[in-house]
Structure 1
Amino acid sequence: MSTNPHLSDQTAAGARHDVARAWDRDNEDWWDWYMSLADNSGTAGTDGVNLVEVAAPDPGPLPDDAAVVAELAAPYDVPAGAVEAFATDGFVVLPRVVSPGVAEVLRRRLTDLLADASGSSLRAREMMWLEDPLVRAAVLSPRVAGICAALLGVDALRLYHDSALCKEPGAGRTPWHYDAHHFPLDSHDVISTWMPLQPVPAAMGPLSFARGMDTWQLLADLPFDKVGTSYDQRVAQALRGAGVPLYDEPFAVGDVSFHHTLCCHTAGANRTTQPRMVLGATYYADGARLVEHPTMVSGDWQVFVPDTAPGEPAASPNNPLVTGDPGATSS
């Protein structure tokens, strides 16, 4: 049987579709494994050759930290039709959620926080909000929380985790997936944000979405492949076969996407000379519980929801309430 070099003997055991075992390495190792499941056959640039030349961001004078926090605390006027589009498509991309200056300040901060991250093609870190006040201001911000609550139609949200995702030049695709596979939560009232901290042209690998809140049902019975790329290939085939329309557009600096846990999505290879830095975060409706049997696809979930057993409410100190009220206190 084929094996995957990123799996331990324990997680590699059993059939290639058996993911019932718990993940037993750290989350940086998880990302190396997960990226290896993407089909990159025929994807130009993943060998690091003939990359598209892209200039480093130049946003002009930068705001200080206090100005960054103030911007993130200010409310955002959700455009007319965005809530309906989210409910129909499973995602929405909103313009100018942050200014170019705030994006650049956050990009530099994440670059520092990722300095020691290991990842072969995608360097990643989570839970940075616990150690860095600027990241805390971003992921617990009333601006972002207010948008998420409006799109989901819920009053109270908790943070699952933040994530810094730096896709290096020449790095390959992120495989097709929908997040309900990943998060060990018993609720579908879950939303994730994707905030690129520089413009993301097509060659840099923007997040791409399969339209339709119910599209995941086409994929529900596809066997997951913990060893190779067959799941990624089968998802792409299923979407093509059903004629599902895709959203695959560049992101301007300041654009932020919001996607539902059932929204099927992927991200392209970074075929440019610059790293693609993203700040992401996931939130869920207060009251959700951990599922009874988390799997290896959830990674080291105990880092995100510590001291909580399967079946218990996901409400640890690492999962503060977030609110769109700039005067409220998370707890």
Structure 2
Amino acid sequence: MTQRNLTEDEIRQYQQNGVVCVRNAVDPQWIEKLTAFGRHQLENPGELCNDANPGADKGRMFTDRYLWRSNDLVYRYAKNSGCARLVAQAMQSQTARFYFDHLLIKKAETTTPTPWHQDAPYWPFRGKQIASIWLALTPVTVAGSGLEFVRGSHSDDVFYLPEAFGASGEKANSWTGTGEGIPCPDIEAGRENFDIIGFDLQPGDALLFSAWTLHGSPGNQSTTQDRMAFSTRWLGDDAIWDPRPGTDPSVNPQEVRVSPGSHPADNAIFPEFYSG
């Protein structure tokens, strides 16, 4: 399978804006395989899935994650697709360690938005070289629940309090809302006050963005097109393990062979998939 590199302009956009749209980010063969996998997961969800309306054709927001631990396709995609190199190039990092995978599906006519948030406060790490590659598996428009970003917000040095969303019942993210940070601003109530950018994508295009960039997405207004994406999360050179209160407990700190405050050099839990 072919792999690409970022251009100097794409790296500059990431560094300045906190997000860059990477066209044809991975070999097309991955799209077919991951799309089939996504459809399979809808019917066979993992133990960490969130499913707001199980079995529905409309009004269904579905996510599943940490699938690389048990699924060979997801593992091979994270290791061999070239995403690790792309994210290292964007972050200007010599290495890229894999954190987790995240399947995200909004069925057609799903009005539920993804609230504005930063990723970093949810995760048990510190550091500026932490990022995601959000790969479109279906055509995506902003009206069809494409991601929007506050341009340059990765450089604001503000830590926003994690809040629960996208979960319900026993799987509600009860660990959120207990950590440090200030409430996220009500961006939707004053969109004119923020420099908001969004992107229309075709399958195989990806959004590469910093974990510190404010982002969210509206509901899926399409009456015919589901929105399916596959995101991978990555750790660069300056990331340190920081399992503080109020962060995602999906990785058991007792299993991590790294002391808090150290680089997460644990290849069993955070495998290094790129070294430049």
Q: Would you call these one fold, judging by a TM-score over 0.5?
A: yes
Partners of 2:119 and 2:245 in 1: how far apart? Answer: 13
The amino acid of 2:192's aligned partner reads R
Structure 2 equivalent of residue 306 of structure 1: 255
Q: Deviations over 1:194-232 (max 9, x none)?
A: 001011123321111111145645x64x666669xxx56
The amino acid of 1:115's aligned partner reads E
Structure 1 equivalent of residue 11 of structure 2: 83
Partners of 1:246 and 1:239 in 2: how far apart? Answer: 7
Counterpart pick for 1:137 among 53, 76, 79: 76
Kept after mapping to 2: 8 A contact 1:87/1:213: no
User: Segments of 4+ in structure 1 off by > 6 A?
Assistant: none
Q: What percentage of residue pairs aligned between the two structures are identical?
A: 19
Kept after mapping to 2: 8 A contact 1:129/1:136: yes
Structure 2 equivalent of residue 319 of structure 1: 270
Residue 240 of structure 1: CA displacement? 3.3
Partners of 2:258 and 2:38 in 1: how far apart? Answer: 31
Residue 182 of structure 1: CA displacement? 1.2
Kept after mapping to 2: 8 A contact 1:160/1:305: no
Paired residue secondary structure (1:139): helix
Structure 1 equivalent of residue 136 of structure 2: 196
> Where do 5+ consecutive residues of structure 1 fail to align?
1-70, 326-331
Q: How many residues align?
A: 245
Partners of 2:164 and 2:129 in 1: how far apart? Answer: 26
Structure 2 equivalent of residue 265 of structure 1: 215
Kept after mapping to 1: 8 A contact 2:3/2:26: no
Higher strand share: 2
Structure 1 equivalent of residue 200 of structure 2: 250
Partners of 1:119 and 1:81 in 2: how far apart? Answer: 38
Q: Deviations over 1:157-202 (max 9, x none)?
A: 2111011111223141101011121111021210111001011123
Bigger radius of gyration, 1 or 2? 1
Q: Deviations over 1:46-92 (max 9, x none)?
A: xxxxxxxxxxxxxxxxxxxxxxxxx2xx3303223111111100010
Once superposed, what is the RMSD of the aligned Cα atoms?
2.9
> Where do 5+ consecutive residues of structure 2 fail to align?
53-59, 166-182
TM-score scaled by structure 1? 0.65
1:282 aligns to 2:222 (yes or no): no
Give the direction of change, closer, same or farther, for the CA distance of 1:224–1:239 in structure 2 (3 Å limit): farther
Give the direction of change, closer, same or farther, for the CA distance of 1:150–1:226 in structure 2 (3 Å limit): closer
TM-score scaled by structure 2? 0.77
Higher helix share: 1
Q: Deviations over 1:126-149 (max 9, x none)?
A: 121222222112112251111111
